[in-house]
Amino acid sequence: MTTDTLTRVFAALADPTRRDMVARLAEGDATANQLAEPYRMTLQAVYKHLRVLEDAGLVTRPPGPQPRAVHLEVQVFDLMDNWIERHRRRAEQRYRRLDALLAAFDETETDGDEA
């Protein structure tokens, strides 16, 4: 997954309507009409949201006449998870080093108070 792809995925998920659509698609495939039901927007607006999700690789729709089921591409989340996990591990390593440094500093302070 390239950085450009990650940028598109995170940008697509930055919108609360698209995040909600993704959450609903995690329960199962749905048509655009079914996805549009809870929103106060036109079907055309729903298709624009779906296009952003498609361009990011988060969902697919088979070619053919309407209605077409929208399918969540879960492997994209595996790739995102790997990216996030790598950065989480780096942050945890930095925090462990900081904790060790602060503990050593604390010991130095405590040793200095006893003299």
CA-CA distance, 96 to 48, in Å (whole number)?
44
Q: What is the DSSP letter of 74?
A: T
Contact 46, 52 (CB under 8 A): no
Q: Which residue has the tokens 């053919």?
A: 64
Find the DSSP H helices in 14-42.
16-25, 32-36
Query: If you average pLDDT over every residue of the chain, what do you get?
Result: 89
Contact 12, 58 (CB under 8 A): yes
pLDDT of residue 47: 95
For residue 41, give both structure tokens.
């927007």
pLDDT in tens, 63-83: 888 788 999 999 998 888 988
Residue 7 reports pLDDT greater than 80: yes
pLDDT of residue 114: 62
Task: Tell me the whole-structure pTM to 2 decimals.
Answer: 0.74
- Amino acid identity, residue 77? F
